[in-house]
Each structure stands twice: as structure tokens, then as C-alpha cells.
Amino acid sequence: MNSSHTDPLNKYLYSSAFYIQSANCYRLILEWIASADPEQRDALLGMIQHSWLQTTINAYSSTLSRMGLTNTTTMQGNDLINLVRLTQILNRIAPQIIDEVVDRVSKHVDDTLMFQDFFDIWIKTCIKAHVELINSEEFVDCISDLINLSIKTSVETMKVAESKNG
């Protein structure tokens, strides 16, 4: 999967990968409904969390990489701490999404949803959760800290350039 969608065709590629990845989640959900095996449920949890995290982190990491903040070779101290904070917030949100989707799909035991119908539920749940995410103070703090670090670095670089130019 491409890690950023910075042009239109990339966006379709990225979205398609997300769609296909969602089918893997749906297969696991169907298995979970059929067997109620706790181990399979754990596998399902991990899979959906992975999908959610990958999509969201991709969206942000592409923004952050433009500011030089997600290159692990150059990332230091506070930058890394902020990225870890971001991942932790996203990790906390993922189970809520999974619960909501599984709950809705479970209601269709005798009339299994077409994958497209599952995807509609899945993506709308993601949209709803994402709105809550970007409006949360914790998340805004995290992003603000990242951007402020970038500003500080850029301003310091500019000061050096200005002093060299007299």
C-alpha cells in the first residue's frame, strides 16, 4: 500500500487498497459470527485495528513527513514522543469502531450482507470516529505540538540564513 496519496491516481490506489483490506476484515468477522471462537475474535480485532491505524496514520504521516517529522532517521526526542502519542490515541479509538461494526454486522446472521453493504457500514463508522478524533483536545494538542516543533525548526533555520546574509 502506498504510504501517502499526494496525487489523484495515488488516492484511488490507496482507497482501493483500503477497500480490499476491508474485505479481509469482513471475512474474519463472518468467521467470528460463525464460530464465536475467542482466538478468531482476537485475530479479527488485530486485523481491523491494523486497517484503521494504517489508513489514519498514512493520512497524517504524509502530512507530517512534509514537515520532516516522521523520518525515523532524523526524528529525535519530542518528535518521536508526539508520534507515539498519536499512535496511542488512534489505538484507543480502534476498539470502539470494531465494536460498532461487529454489532451491526451480527444482526445479519440469516441475511449475510453483501461486502459492499458491509463496507458502507465500515467506512461510515470510520468517518464518524474520525470526526470525534480530530475534534478531541488530546489530538489537537498532539498535532499542534508537532506543527509547533516544525515552526521552531524552520524559524531557527531562517534566523541562521538571515544572520549569514547580514
The Cα–Cα gap between 74 and 90 comes to: 23
Q: What does DSSP assign to residue 113?
A: P
* Terminal C-alpha separation, the chain: 47
User: In 77-91, which positions are buried (b, 16+ CB within 10 angstroms) versus exposed (e)?
Assistant: eebeebbebbeebbe
Binding segment for another protein among 25-33, 40-48, 85-93, 98-106 (CB under 8 A)? 25-33
Binding segment for another protein among 36-44, 75-83, 88-96, 150-158 (CB under 8 A)? 150-158
Instruction: Say whether residue 132 binds another protein (CB under 8 A).
Output: no
> In the bound complex, what is the minimum distance in angstroms from residue 80's beta carbon to another protein?
20
Instruction: Say whether residue 19 binds another protein (CB under 8 A).
Output: yes
Which of 59, 75, 89, 121 is close enough to bind another protein by CB under 8 A? 59
Instruction: Say whether residue 151 binds another protein (CB under 8 A).
Output: yes
Give me 88's grid cell.
Answer: 496511542
Instruction: Say whether residue 119 binds another protein (CB under 8 A).
Output: yes
| Residue among 30, 31, 25 nearest 45 (CA) | 25
Which of 127, 163, 164, 166 is close enough to bind another protein by CB under 8 A? 127
